[in-house]
Structure 1
Amino acid sequence: MDLEIEGRVAVVTGAASGIGRATAGRLAREGCRVVAVDRQPIKIDADELGESAIAVEADVTDPDSVRRSVATTVATFGRLDILVCSAGIYETAAPFDLSADEWDRVHSVNLRGAFLCAQAAVLVMSETGWGRIVLLSSMAAQTGGMAAGSAYVASKAGVMGLTRSLAVHAGPLGITVNCVNPGIIETPMTANVEREALAARTPLRRNGTPEDVADMIAVLCSERSSFVTGAHLSINGGLVAD
């Protein structure tokens, strides 16, 4: 299926590893020019991300850092068409064991970061009247968290609400906003989760891969999803129903 996004400029946050890295590579294979954003340095592999890809170090919790990353994108490629907010952190604390500082830290990256990046991207996308934004929520927001802690669950539930709000306000500008809710995906973030036990409970009898999520994100970034906005796509092998 031709996704018709060749030549589009895509910013992917959290692109150093996991779902973010897989998504950056997937969009590159569709012909996108990729801006790989992360707090840590990213080594650009031309075979993976394309010869035109650039890496930008940025802190998604810092408005100035986010604005600079968007400005770098526009200065380099002249536009910004696609944003995938994959930057996130995970925690497992029960609500009664959770400190206020940890609560703020998780929300700052997972929810504030998504908001700041989307806000900055919409300002640029609105100039061309075309844009695709995909936020990452989580199955944990639908279940209350199997292994995830309260701050993570609440922050990802906030991402689902933010998706709906952004979709309402960005739609008239020609911009769609959707989110995906990954289940147990084999990434460094879930390294300490009981993956085998959860895979046994999953109808497809396996956990997901970053590529499973990246494939669906690519569709939401494409012309094939031009009438889809405000949607939440579960990618969990059937472990949890919507």
Structure 2
Amino acid sequence: MSISRKRVIKQRALEILLRLKRLYPDATCSLNYETPVQLLVATILSAQCTDERVNMVTPELFRRFPTAHDLAEADSDEIERLVRSTGFYRNKAKNIQAACRMIVTDFGGTVPRQMDALLKLPGVARKTANVVLAHAYGINAGVTVDTHVKRLSRRLGLTEQTEPVKIERNLMELLPQADWENWSIRLIYHGRAVCNARNPACDRCQLADLCPSVDLTKVTPPSPPAMILPQ
């Protein structure tokens, strides 16, 4: 890619970021949690599941097992029962308990603050690690790439990659580090509210003029100026 094209894409990304901040000024993580380990668990549960469903499940889960020690020593069948409605519950329960056991044995019961350490935990990839670091510790180590971020970043012409790690790398080059995580959250909000997968509402999208994928058939062109007849 030429330097001039990279510059154009970077300028587009920065303008999109500015507009997203204006559109969703109060956007924040929609998962409910009180501690880093609870955020870790909620994020693991959010895979292939809505945040709303996770927030329905976690109050009872965290009431019964509020800490990493509690989850590490819990009956696995009970964890499965409590998280069943989030889907893939056996694998999620297994990863949650294994991660908490490692947190207890290897990290003194505290969720680590380093990306490489987090990635050693069962069930934790960069998406989960980025969420935990940003929202539990205020550390922007990368850009969270979920299905919304992947889809919209490609639609907006900010990346041609299909693998989350490569998309993340592209976005990190385009955006200021301080905005890496709030970019993801606001793009997720926009994906849910406007740019959904099957039927994006291009006609009411505030990013339409910046989007190379815009469906022009959905966008109403501005009315021509009224003709003023001579008196």
Common fold: TM-score over 0.5? no
Which TM-score bucket, shorter chain as reference?
under 0.3
Q: TM-score, normalised by structure 1?
A: 0.27
- Asked which structure has the greater CA Rg, the reply is 2
More helix by share: 2
